[in-house]
Chain A
Amino acid sequence: MKNLKRTMTPAAIALGLAFAIASAVLLISGHNPGTAYRAMWKNFASIDGVITSINIGARYYVAAVAVAIALKMNVFNIGTSAQYQLAAMFGAVTAAAISLPAPLHVVVTLLVAMAAGALWASLIAILQITRKVNPVLTGIMLNGVGASVIAYMMQSKWTHFRDPGRPEYGSTRPVPKSAQLPVFRIGDSNLQSYVILAVVIGIIFYLIVYRTRFGFDLRASGGNPAAAKSAGINPKKMILITMLLSGAVAGLIGMGIVLSSNDQLSYGDRFPGSLGFTGIGIALLGRNHPVGVAAAALLWAALDQGARGLVTVNIAGEIAVILQGSLLFIAVIVYAVWERKSLANMVREAAARTHHQRAEEVSA
């Protein structure tokens, strides 16, 4: 309970401040914040609004977990953008090119996507390990390279990649039935089963990081690289494995879009390209913790959903972007201050209690 309060308080402070800033912007631009928030709430608080938020939130969650894994050892995988798009492309192409019985078809497709993401991420790790290249630089540059690779592969001469049947779209061939992920019909809305995959990823993330030896090594390397090295943890090996894991998860970010029967069922021009960076923000907002990140992903998606209601009251939807941006910005500051304060408290408490022990011993 105390733990929950300790985590929730800074998040609540950040959220409050973010709404204050957005309200100020609304007031300055001559709108009533109350009207705006009512319109946002109205668009979110319906079965369809909630389910859409959950569907989108699941993507955000996977995107954030991919980043959070690496951040647990203080490695910044800023290259998830290219990793998930390459993975989605190769996943979609594989799904359309092979034919297998239903569950197996999905599994193979997902494995191909994970492999593609991991492979692209491994380049960052290998360059860091062998040439000491800063992983942030490589990550950003490989995002550019990845985009070029995709543009090259999606030329009309590669008919496995660019579907000649739908030249106007510029997309891969449609994913056949046996490779599709089912959706659950709730009212008039479709809940994607990809959400379950996201939950499973979250649980595995938690177990690996907090319960396994590997996770201990991971966190130790992030907490104090020198001490981890002295403890026999090989930093190079850790960087490689962590990047592979991060990239593999990143490979799944877009697979809900590619495989869900109510979604795009292909990779192409209409595929969202900003999930990678959104994931970085959500990982920061959720403090890299499996549960915190889930809350942050759902909040982010809910704000997205609410924003679509703003047109009904003639307010620019960008107000939600301002909300998300200031939320992230303030949260990072509030967390840092809060962390400092609680560490100082901990030190003081421990010091006080050890004095106490000492005093008892002496008087005894």
Chain B
Amino acid sequence: MGGGLRVAPLRVLLAMPDDLPARCEELQLTLAIELRDIVKRFPGVVANDGVNLKVEQGTIHAIIGENGAGKSTLMKTLYGAHQPDEGTITVNGVMKTFKTPKDAIAEGIGMVFQHFMLADNLTVWENVVLGAEPGSAFALNAKKARAKVRELAERNGLEVDPDALIGDLGVGQRQRVEILKVLYRGAKILILDEPTAVLVPQEVDELFASLRELVAQGATIIFISHKLMEVLSVADAITVIRAGKTVAEVADPSTVTPRDLAELMVGSELPTPETQGSTVRDEVLLDVAQLSVATDGAGIGQAAKLALREVNLRVHAGEIVGIAGVEGNGQSELLEALMGVREVAGGSVSFLGRDITTESTLHRREAGMGYIPEDRQRDGLILTFPLWENAALGHQNSKPFSRGFWIDPDGAREFTRHAIEDFDVRTPSCDVAALALSGGNQQKLIVGRELLTDPKILIAAHPTRGIDVGAQAAVWDAMRDARERGLGILLISADLEELIGLSDRLLVIFHGEIVAELNPQSVNAAELGSYMTGARKGEAA
């Protein structure tokens, strides 16, 4: 009954949406952004069908909705990537039309994209000023540029060294650089597209602290997400979009629960990542012993630094072993060493009782290792290829994707249609290029490909990263089903809820070593966090 009570205020709002504008005007709020009745049509469809959005100045406003609900279309309208067919955009009380993103930037609206656009071989300040360099047409005023970037970073609490190379920075710091880029161009209203999708919990906390600092400095932030806990923890107001329409506006997030929001987003029940009962069998599928892996870029003659140090782990049939850790603590190296993409410096990997330490990636895959890579666009897909060819990737030598010497397009298409159906991949057909799909749908295709090809073990990194609540449930269900049938899964995830909910056993990786083995039944997120940051060391495996 408590849940019902908490939803009540929302329901009240929903019952009288017409009343809302009047109430806002009554309170005389200064709106940084007001979108009114935005309609955006694409050939044959309406992507935004009367969306309303009101963002108060100096607030963090979250927009939530499933993949494909129309969030991105709306944001593109707002920063000038395209024009709405109907409706109005009002910035700080003045009605505006944006023909290009330049017009939006001129009005102080800047966009921070989910996928970073930074030059690795340039420094932080160089990236920030790139395209808007101070100085004359022939000479860059480096001193001025650097000073301005430093000042901007300090004033807004975005801690990053202006002289560091982008290539040396972690994801969280790169994101700060992206934010600095937008601020440097004079943005007062920042749109952040799923900024936490690539961050680990600690980085998320840092980001949120930065956002609050920015707001305190007078900025307005529009925050697109589908991670409900995060939205609730940071947002001052929330707008929920479903199927191109605004379905709810929450003025006070403290009155709602994640479950309420999820219901609004999907219109169905919120799934939880829980596995019931143990299905762990005796058979050891994967046996990693004393595995060490060197870091990249260890020069000739230098003592190789180890990214992974004497790691021991086992995955049994029917078992999900979770690996928790802050990104960059050796997870990538572990994945790549297990798949044979990266050379090992020492130790051994056995699969189904056979030593595969020196075997090729192809042999490993053919022996039954499924792989969901960390970076789907870099390692999991060929963006210019159609979906059916992407579905064959990694399985190109086996049925139904090929027959002997030849590839089998019909078989591959048939398989792809299954994957599309079972994993709810939103796509017009299996013949479109992978790049035409949203990130979440690309991920669903990869998960479908790896789970439907009957692997014996699945090496899965962030299997539900960037996919929405409904599809997340489908992926979790599929992983649980496969586990019951005897699939072993090594799960690396930044989503602690997912790790705790799905894993039979939880290992914590820190600085390339397994520092703790925990029971997911009894551990809580705070405790896990302290192991992940190295604050605690404990029951090492």
Contact = CB atoms under 8 A, between A and B. Distances in A.
Contact of A355 (B42, B364, B380): B42
Contacts of B45: 352-353, 355-356, 359
B264 interface: no
A223 B385 contact: yes
A224 B383 contact: yes
A350 B44 CA distance: 12
A353 B435 contact: no
Contacts of B138: none
B362 A232 contact: yes
Interface in B371-424: 371, 373, 378-385, 389, 392-397, 402, 405-407
A352 B406 contact: no
A343 interface: yes
Given A230-B371, A231-B393, A215 B436 contact: no
Interface string B259-293: 00000000100000000000000000000000000
Given A349-B428, A350-B437, A216 B42 contact: no
Contacts of B380: 227, 230
A35 interface: no
A38 interface: no
B378 A227 contact: yes
A348 interface: yes
Contacts of A217: 396
Given A227-B379, A354-B68, A346 B371 contact: no
Nearest to B69: A358
Interface in B81-101: none
**B contact residues, range:** 35 or more
A354 B426 contact: yes
B152 interface: no
Contact of A352 (B43, B382, B392): B43
B466 interface: no
A212 B407 contact: yes
A229 B361 CA distance: 8
Contacts of B437: 350, 354
Interface in A36-76: none
Contacts of A29: none
B50 to A, nearest CB: 12
B341 A229 contact: yes
B339 to A, nearest CB: 7
Nearest to B376: A227
Interface in B354-368: 360-366
Nearest to B405: A212
A216 B361 contact: no
Given A354-B441, A355-B70, A362-B267, A213 B396 contact: yes
A203 B292 CA distance: 49
Interface residues of A, number: 38
A350 B384 contact: no
A220 interface: yes
A351 B46 contact: no
A343 B432 CA distance: 10
B436 A349 contact: yes
A359 B244 contact: yes
A362 B383 CA distance: 29
Taking chain A's interface residues, is the majority helix, strand, or loop, or is none over half, making it mixed?
helix
A232 B365 contact: yes
Nearest to B381: A227
B242 interface: yes
A347 interface: yes
Interface in A217-260: 217, 219-220, 223-224, 226-234
Contact of B432 (A223, A231, A346): A346
Interface string A331-359: 00000000000010011111111111111
A227 B243 contact: no
B17 to A, nearest CB: 17
A356 B69 CA distance: 10
A217 B436 CA distance: 22
A350 B428 contact: yes
A46 to B, nearest CB: 43
Contacts of B383: 223-224
A363 interface: yes
A157 interface: no
B156 interface: no
A6 interface: no
B433 interface: yes
Contacts of B242: 362
B47 interface: yes
A166 interface: no
B20 to A, nearest CB: 22
Contacts of B378: 224, 226-227
User: Which of A216, A231, A353, A358 counts the most chain B CB atoms within 10 A?
Assistant: A231
Given A343-B435, A352-B43, A232 B361 contact: yes
Contacts of B70: 355
Contacts of A216: 389, 392, 396, 402, 407
A214 B365 CA distance: 17
Nearest to B267: A362
Interface string B510-539: 000000000000000000000000000000
B405 A213 contact: yes
A129 to B, nearest CB: 15
A223 B407 CA distance: 17
B421 to A, nearest CB: 12
B427 interface: yes
Contacts of B435: 343, 346-347
A77 B436 CA distance: 31
A220 B428 contact: no
A219 B365 CA distance: 19
A228 B341 CA distance: 10
A194 B362 CA distance: 40
Contacts of A213: 396-397, 402, 405-407
B31 to A, nearest CB: 27
B438 interface: yes
A363 B433 contact: no
Nearest to B402: A213
Contacts of B44: 352-353, 356
A230 B341 contact: yes
A358 B385 CA distance: 24
Contact of A357 (B69, B371, B381, B426): B426
A355 B49 CA distance: 11
A232 B397 CA distance: 10
Interface in A3-29: none
Nearest to B340: A232
B361 A230 contact: yes
Contact of A343 (B46, B360, B405, B433): B433
B438 A351 contact: yes
B214 to A, nearest CB: 30
Nearest to B441: A354
A38 to B, nearest CB: 43
Given A350-B428, A354-B427, A211 B68 contact: no
B378 to A, nearest CB: 5
Contacts of B396: 213, 216-217, 220, 231, 233
Interface string B420-452: 000000111000110111100100000000000
21 contacts: A211-B407, A214-B405, A215-B407, A219-B385, A227-B378, A227-B381, A230-B373, A231-B365, A231-B393, A232-B394, A233-B361, A348-B42, A350-B427, A352-B43, A353-B45, A355-B42, A355-B47, A355-B68, A359-B45, A359-B46, A359-B244
Given A228-B382, A232-B364, A346-B432, 20 more contacts: A212-B405, A215-B407, A216-B396, A219-B385, A229-B341, A230-B339, A232-B362, A232-B365, A346-B433, A346-B435, A346-B436, A350-B427, A351-B436, A351-B438, A352-B43, A353-B45, A354-B428, A355-B45, A355-B47, A359-B45
Interface of B: 42-47, 49, 66, 68-70, 73, 242-244, 267, 339, 341, 360-366, 371, 373, 378-385, 389, 392-397, 402, 405-407, 426-428, 432-433, 435-438, 441
